[in-house]
Amino acid sequence: MEKPSMCGEPAPARNPCGDADFQAFAKLFKQVIHGAVAVDREFAASHGLALTDIMCLAFLTEHDGPVSAKMLAEHVNLSTGATTALIDRLERDGFVERRPNPSDRRGVIIVPVEERAKPVLATGERLRHRLRWAYGCLSKEEVGAVARFFNALLAGTGPTE
């Protein structure tokens, strides 16, 4: 019986690629990350927003259920003080509202103002179209391999050195 890998799948045969192949792969991976961030930054700037503003609005519109300031802070990786300033700014610009938390009378939830937030996020389709096109170039098996790769990176359980 095959021993499971850190990806939760049977461990594949060792990758036959050499160090130069890995270095090229790592460089390409970094270029993809930097390219995606650059597209998001350009998109945010075109609307007079910061990248964290876009991350916050996307999280609010995609999340099912109420969102607290703490949840936003964790999602955008900001301190509670910086998150309060973010929410204040988005509220002042009409993108979000603070509402009483129905499950905690002392707390508030952050709610997107749909008519203001959705049109801004809808114009950020460029990266999604590129992603969908690239996804369409893959076979089902390749999609599975890429998903395992991303899940292994996100799990963070592999060696760090």
Hey, what amino acid is at 105? R
* Domain extent at residue 97: 31-123
In a domain, 5, yes or no: no
Number of C-beta neighbours around residue 43 at 10 A: 19
Give the pLDDT confidence score for residue 2 in this predicted structure. 45
Compute CA 154 distance to the chain's CA centroid, rounded to the nearest angstrom.
Answer: 11
Give the pLDDT confidence score for residue 12 in this predicted structure. 53
More confident position, 77 or 1 = 77
**Co-location of 148 and 74 in the same domain:** no
**pLDDT (mean) for 17-33:** 87
- Structure letter (DSSP) for residue 10: B
The helix/strand count (H/E) of the chain reads as 7, 2
**Co-location of 119 and 147 in the same domain:** no
Q: Is the pLDDT of residue 31 over 60?
A: yes
State if pTM tops 0.75. no
In a domain, 47, yes or no: yes
Three-state secondary structure of 63-86: CCCCCCHHHHHHHHCCCHHHHHHH
**Co-location of 57 and 71 in the same domain:** yes
What angle do the packed helices 69-76 and 80-92 form, to 10 degrees? 110
- Structure letter (DSSP) for residue 49: -
Give the pLDDT confidence score for residue 3 in this predicted structure. 45
Tell me how far apart the alpha carbons of residues 110 and 67 are, in angstroms, rounded to a whole number. Answer: 6
Q: Which of 36, 35, 31, 30 is nearest to 55 (CA)?
A: 36
**Co-location of 119 and 51 in the same domain:** yes
**Co-location of 40 and 99 in the same domain:** yes
Tell me how far apart the alpha carbons of residues 134 and 146 are, in angstroms, rounded to a whole number. Answer: 12
Task: Please provide the average confidence, as pLDDT, over all residues in the chain.
Answer: 84
Here the tokens at position 35 are 């390219």
In a domain, 74, yes or no: yes
